[in-house]
């Protein structure tokens, strides 16, 4: 008597829990409000970066197949301005832009890998140590923009194809994000969070 062995299936779905950090720019090292910042502080690394959990289910083979589910944190900045993507507002052709980076703080200790569609404009987030935020010990992950930035009038768009996934299986995780860019020799930054994903 022959038995059939199911072929492995790979199902992916983005869980509903997601965060999209957008807009406000405020002074360095001050937490950003949920509402838009004042017009005086409009220069900065604006846009949309989603932190989500992607769930992968793979079925085991054998007499009694069973699902094995893993959760992976993902970072996705892709999209088209003005709804999505990343850009610097309040620029002119004379504006000098440099040192764009995003620092993620999370209570999940993971290793990041590029996802399909990642352009390489942003470095793979690297763990640089730990810090405490709101009483939580967090791993610090930094991604930096690796291309020269030529400012354009009013708004300067950056390559937004930063798409990374955590290698390790994660459950629920708290995440903060700090965006930073040097504008005419002065750092402009803001921090958002925490949000919980997973």
Cβ-based neighbours of 94, under 8 Å, separated by 6 or more: 151
Residue 86 contacts residue 48 (beta carbons within 8 Å): yes
Residue 32 contacts residue 191 (beta carbons within 8 Å): yes
Per-residue pLDDT of the chain (198 residues; tens, 9 = 90+): 444 444 333 333 333 334 444 333 222 222 222 233 333 346 788 888 888 888 777 787 888 888 877 788 999 998 888 778 899 988 999 999 999 999 999 999 999 999 999 999 999 999 999 999 989 999 999 999 999 999 998 899 999 999 999 998 888 899 999 999 999 999 999 888 888 887
- Residue ranges per domain, the chain? 45-197
> What whole-number distance in Å separates Cα of residue 42 and Cα of residue 90?
6
Cβ-based neighbours of 54, under 8 Å, separated by 6 or more: 12, 13, 14, 15, 71, 72, 74, 165
CB atoms within 10 A of CB 69: 10
């Amino acid at each position: 008597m022959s038995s059939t062995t199911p072929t492995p299936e790979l199902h992916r779905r983005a869980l509903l829990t997601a965060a999209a950090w957008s807009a406000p720019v405020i002074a360095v090292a001050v937490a950003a409000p949920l509402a838009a910042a004042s017009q005086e502080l409009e220069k900065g690394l604006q846009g949309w970066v989603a932190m989500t959990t992607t769930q992968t289910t793979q079925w085991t083979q054998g007499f009694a197949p069973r699902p094995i589910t893993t959760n992976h944190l993902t970072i996705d900045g892709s999209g088209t301005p003005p709804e999505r993507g990343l850009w610097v507002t309040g620029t002119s052709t004379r504006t000098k832009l440099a040192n764009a980076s995003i620092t993620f703080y999370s209570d999940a200790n993971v290793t990041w890998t590029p996802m399909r569609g990642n352009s390489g404009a942003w470095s793979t987030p690297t763990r640089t140590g730990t810090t405490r935020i709101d009483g939580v010990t967090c791993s610090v992950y930094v991604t930096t923009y690796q291309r020269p930035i030529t400012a354009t009038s009013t708004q300067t768009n950056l390559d937004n194809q930063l798409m990374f996934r955590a290698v390790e299986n994660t459950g629920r995780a708290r995440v903060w994000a700090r965006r930073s860019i040097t504008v005419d020799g002065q750092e402009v930054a803001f921090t958002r969070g925490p949000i919980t994903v997973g």
